[in-house]
Structure 1
């Protein structure tokens, strides 16, 4: 919980200002006389004081879910996901006037959606869950790269189907991979929340609060990129033959989205600007295709669904590229007196 201490600034001599430090905080961080501390000037000109040589590990965080009688299964699931994303290590579910099978069903659904969620204790009116995440998934950038890789592979398989390389039956595998991307999405949000609650980790990873805003938008775009693959698959499964007329457009959209995403990961503004220009060229191809098959679309609205999904991929690519440009602008702002 955020703690705020008030102090009066005192002046010694002609140029030295001093403020006393809270005794409770000094004890928590192990501050001793002559310990070196650092003062960081934040963008809003506030100061953050910390001890560079010490990192206080925060205590295990708990989230309590108090299930009331009118709760449905999915209400409980949303509560569990909320605690997970908030960074809780322990999630305690209290229930009294609700059937146990409702709680068990909710936990089962939540475990299908979340990585590392385990039951560690059970009682008559209490079930305790613990989040135990694989250490290999503790790095946020690694999670993001994995999301991109899996989502891109989903689209590549759909392209292979349109090209006639794989059968329609194999498209079902694309849908199942979306579940993994969704899990990684929630894990990425959890990791981001955890980092933002620890200034030491923020500094170690070079992440600011402004960066985190754009990062959360980027993570959502990756999750939606995978969802668009599912939407395209669901449309194609109802269509008798692969729409080869859309192949070049689809390839172009997937390719430029990947470029925008990679530009975000490495913070490459020039690559982002290039992606925006490439999207403009792919958009021209989209307009030509829509014009050429306009009469065909009237009889086969499912193809319109595919085109709309491809169009949204292009929009996401532009969104990501603009986020890279925005981040660059924020980092290069200068204060003018």
Structure 2
């Protein structure tokens, strides 16, 4: 809901400004026309003569034979919001095209192969863009991050071995799928194809904040995954001192992650001074111990570096949650 004050020009012309968000959604510019209709209840309906942009639903991509390039381009088409992608094999071997399409389907939520021919595959988004809410995606990624940290500590404490650590690292692929699905939905809002209210938000500013929350979570998971892979290579080389400090650091970070997730879940903008004064400071203390260890044993710097970055991303999320709190306060004040 928007509130505007009526301006009177020349004593007889009543003027009111249109909401900027609404005008941008309809791609309105100076001199564009709108239709105003007085409804039976005497309310006023304003409709733009120029309709909103219509977006292409289908995209044709010709494979180049450069695997990494082809996958990046196809994923980008998915993120941009295309509902159907026709993958033309061109001069590439049929086996290559089949492998690329199967990899694309395995990396995404919703895409399925619906048609094949000798030289072309058609993949379509069959899940729609609202089968999983953005809020549910964020909470799922939070839970995965927390469990990865807990399981990483357990694997080290019990000498779980290389296989367990590599299994942990592979969970990153699930987070990538969830994140890409969420980013696809966010991109449709940013381009004006759907409205913020369609995915449960009141403004573009709120959508942007949650976009960054999801991005930060994805990056935190990436670094836990990197750490698990690297630890799988050097676990047997860690002495008791290194292992104990590493365990304490991971456990304090896991507790910090759980508190940040609870703060996000509350949606109440509750006070988080305790999280910063206790849990965050505990992480900083274990981090300092590790920094001192690395000074004399730089071979384990990768452990410190990855956990340092995870802590930073979680702190960024706390700041974003605070941003949401004040943004909602302003929106509510504007509506009252």
**Cα distance, 1:159 vs. partner?**
0.9
- Contact 2:152–2:228 at 8 Å: present in 1 too? yes
Q: 1:3 corresponds to which residue?
A: none
Shift in alpha-carbon separation, 1:33–1:49, aligned structure 2, 3 A: closer
Q: Deviations over 1:75-121 (max 9, x none)?
A: 22122211211222211224534443333232122122112221112
Q: How does 1:223-302 map to 2 (within 5 A)?
A: 223-237=218-232, 238-240=234-236, 241=238, 243-277=243-277, 278-291=279-292, 294-295=295-296, 297-298=297-298, 301=299
| CA–CA distance in structure 2, aligned partners of residues 294 and 156 of structure 1 | 26
Farther-moved stretch of structure 1 (281-290 vs 141-150): 281-290
Which of 189, 208, 230 is equivalent to 2:203? Answer: 208
Q: Which ranges of structure 2 fall in alignment gaps of 5 or more residues?
A: 1-7, 18-25, 27-35, 48-52
- Contact 1:261–1:317 at 8 Å: present in 2 too? no
| CA–CA distance in structure 2, aligned partners of residues 170 and 95 of structure 1 | 38
- Contact 2:61–2:85 at 8 Å: present in 1 too? no
| CA–CA distance in structure 1, aligned partners of residues 121 and 41 of structure 2 | 45
Which of 173, 183, 201 is equivalent to 2:177? Answer: 183
Shift in alpha-carbon separation, 1:118–1:18, aligned structure 2, 3 A: same
| CA–CA distance in structure 2, aligned partners of residues 97 and 168 of structure 1 | 41
Q: How does 1:1-337 map to 2 (within 5 A)?
A: 14=12, 16-17=14-15, 34=39, 62-67=57-62, 70=64, 72-133=66-127, 137-164=131-158, 166-196=160-190, 197-200=192-195, 202=197, 205-237=200-232, 238-240=234-236, 241=238, 243-277=243-277, 278-291=279-292, 294-295=295-296, 297-298=297-298, 301=299, 303-333=300-330
- SS at structure 1 position matched to 2:141: helix
- Contact 1:64–1:91 at 8 Å: present in 2 too? yes
TM-score by length of structure 1 reads 0.73
Shift in alpha-carbon separation, 1:285–1:200, aligned structure 2, 3 A: closer
Shift in alpha-carbon separation, 1:142–1:38, aligned structure 2, 3 A: farther
| CA–CA distance in structure 2, aligned partners of residues 309 and 38 of structure 1 | 58
- SS at structure 2 position matched to 1:239: helix
Shift in alpha-carbon separation, 1:285–1:150, aligned structure 2, 3 A: closer
| CA–CA distance in structure 1, aligned partners of residues 117 and 205 of structure 2 | 43
- Contact 1:162–1:244 at 8 Å: present in 2 too? no
- Contact 2:110–2:125 at 8 Å: present in 1 too? yes
| CA–CA distance in structure 2, aligned partners of residues 137 and 180 of structure 1 | 16
TM-score by length of structure 2 reads 0.74
**Cα distance, 1:170 vs. partner?**
2.3
Shift in alpha-carbon separation, 1:210–1:111, aligned structure 2, 3 A: same
